[in-house]
Homo-oligomer: A and B are copies of this chain.
């Protein structure tokens, strides 16, 4: 049974594949004996941050809470996977500092034109039309990480390739078997 917790912190634009990758990876980590918890945007907002909006301050508060819960889980031996937006570099770095456990930032690097062309949920169209305000990448900033532990290019790679990169990294760091 795996006992050492760590945090996989996905960051990237909407539609880049953060949640998809998180959901794909979770059972692979469980197969290797890890306890895994996915802290995803909507569920966490509902349970920890109801009432908060999308101003910078509110987004920061939401991300700090996710960081706190990710840290509690990781220090109890769980793999915390976060797939919320976390558009601001400074707050991600703050979460890294409090983590007290390996913090692996994964930049899900799909260019805006690619995710906008996909637009699986029709959100970019609504954001361009001004129906959704403060939309990350369109009307709200996204700050990519300077030094992510892992970069996956979901515009070019298959999900298997991206997940493979992550598992390879975790093995090399002896975080998983």
What residues of chain A have their CB less than 8 Å away from a CB belonging to chain B? 1, 3, 35, 37, 47-48, 50-51, 61, 64-65, 68-69, 72-73, 75-78
Contacts and interface: CB of A to CB of B under 8 A. Distances in A.
Best-buried of A35, A61, A68, A76 by chain B (most CB within 10 Å): A76
B48 A65 contact: yes
A19 to B, nearest CB: 17
Count identical subunits in the complex: 2
Contacts of A50: 61
A68 B75 CA distance: 17
Contacts of A76: 35, 37, 73, 76-78
Given A47-B64, A47-B65, A69-B72, 7 more contacts: A1-B3, A35-B77, A37-B75, A37-B76, A72-B73, A76-B78, A77-B77
A75 to B, nearest CB: 8
Nearest to A46: B68
Nearest to A36: B76
Nearest to A65: B48
A163 B65 CA distance: 32
17 contacts: A1-B1, A1-B3, A35-B76, A35-B77, A37-B72, A47-B64, A48-B48, A48-B68, A51-B61, A69-B72, A72-B73, A76-B76, A76-B77, A76-B78, A77-B77, A77-B78, A78-B78
